[in-house]
Amino acid sequence: MDRQDVLLETTDLARHYPLTRGLLRIRSGSLRAVDGVSLKVRRGETLGLVGESGCGKSTLARCVLGLERPTSGRVLFKGREVGEWERKDRCRRMQMIFQDPYSSLNPRKKIGAMVGEPLRIHGLGARRERRAKVAETLGLVGLDPEHAGRYPHEFSGGQRQRAAIARALVLEPELLVCDEPVSALDVSVRAQVLNLLDDLQERFGLTYLFISHDLSVIGHISDRVAVMYLGRVVELARSEEIFKAPLHPYTEALLSAVPVPDPERAARPVRLTGDLPSPSAPPPGCPFHPRCKKALDVCRTTPPELKSVGERGLVSCWLY
């Protein structure tokens, strides 16, 4: 399975932000947004990345896209360090969809100009060819090519997100990083956009790195799921496995918070107490132990390694 074509690989990726104090900007510590993440994304699959806000999901995405330079560790895209790619080459092969379609579209640009901008940046095609490509791409995402002449404020949230997807697709990338692409949308529109992403993946063999805080969304779209907590991956397994039998106590708690539309089944959420610890002062040992019901003595002192549990996947917990 691991012999399959790996499109994206991070090894021990870390991104720390320096914290400074006072007028002289004396370094007083660092905020560990991403703290040693190793992941592999295979061509054509969807890797879901789930975790509560502030766990470093978006920072990871920015590092993958080359928008941030990692503090340490590597990001390999098609076997080559992301930072070594020529900017335009890299941009043609990986694109991003943002969370909020109200802020990810320039309010002063018409939809057509916006979708066509990547083509202009990369000098692809003459004006007429670009216009045809824009119309085709708008059609792909379920928008009327006539809409090219409209401004973003004339669209609904779902339509805006479709336009944003068109912008990401127009360069025909291989990897799409989706950072909470449906979190800002109405529940009724979510399914449509998720289905659209599914269809597009099937049609073009796209690879998704799909970030969300919502396990039900992740479960719908992902082949494999990585659960992040405080900048680290605590569990990684096939989507069905995670939902059937979560191993890590944190995954368990996340899962129990997903509402199940079954009145017969009583909701028994495993409640998490306390807040997410600050990533600038992570607790010693396992970062989850202050909130963990099953914490052992060893959890308080020594951080667990991410290790494989049979064929099932990887988990970082002293219980296994």
Partner 1 sequence: MSRPGVARPSAFRRHGLLWLGALLVGTMSLAAIFAPLLSSFDPTAINVDAMLRPPSAAHWLGTDALGRDVLSRILHGGRVSLWVGFVAVGISTGIGLVLGLVAGYCGRLADEVIMRGVDVMLCFPSFFLILAVIAFLEPSLLNIMIVIGLTSWMGVARLVRAETLTLRERDFVLAARVAGAGPARIVFSHILPNALAPVLVSATLGVAGAILIESSLSFLGLGVQPPEPSWGNMLMEGKEVLEIAPWLSLFPGLAILLTVLGYNLLGESLRDLLDPRLKQ
Residues in touch with partner 1 (CB under 8 A):
65, 67, 87-88, 90-92, 95-96, 98-100, 103-108, 117-118, 121-122, 164, 167, 171
Q: Report the residue number, 34 or 215, with the smaller CB distance to partner 1.
A: 34
3-state helix, strand, coil in the chain (%, to 5): 35, 25, 40
Contact in structure between 210 and 48 (CB atoms under 8 Å) = yes
Spatial separation of the C-alpha atoms in residues 287 and 51, rounded to whole Å: 14
- Nearer to partner 1 among residue 167 and residue 224 (C-beta): 167
User: What gap in Å lies between CA 38 and CA 241, rounded to an integer?
Assistant: 20
* CA angle, 236 then 238 then 244, to 5°: 100
In angstroms, give the least distance from the CB of 67 to partner 1.
Answer: 6
Measured from the CB of residue 123, what is the shortest distance to partner 1 in angstroms? 10
Least distance between partner 1 and beta carbon 315 (Å): 33
Which ranges of 205-277 does DSSP label H, i.e. alpha helix?
215-221, 239-244, 249-256
Element (H, E) at 111: helix 111-121
Q: Which is nearer to partner 1, 8 or 171 (CB)?
A: 171
Q: Which is nearer to partner 1, 98 or 208 (CB)?
A: 98
Q: How far is the CB of 44 from partner 1 (least distance, A)?
A: 21
User: Cβ closer to partner 1: 113 or 189?
Assistant: 113
- Residue 209, helix vs strand vs coil: strand
Beta strands 94-97 and 26-42 are: unpaired
Residue 54 vs 282, nearer CB to partner 1: 54
Contact 180, 211 (CB under 8 A): yes
Closest contact distance (angstroms) between CB of 85 and partner 1 is: 11
d(CA 131, CA 48): 34
Is there a contact between 105 and 46 (Cβ–Cβ < 8 Å)? no
Buried b (16+ CB within 10 A) or exposed e, 176-208: bbbbbbbebbeeebbebbbebbeebbeeeebbb
- Closer residue to partner 1 in complex, CB, 96/233: 96
CB of 188 to partner 1, least distance (A): 23
Cα 286 to Cα 15, 106, 248, 294: the distances in Å are: 19, 43, 12, 12
Instruction: Compute the least distance from the CB of residue 103 to partner 1, in Å.
Output: 5
Nearer to partner 1, 99 or 316 (CB): 99
Q: How far is the CB of 170 from partner 1 (least distance, A)?
A: 9
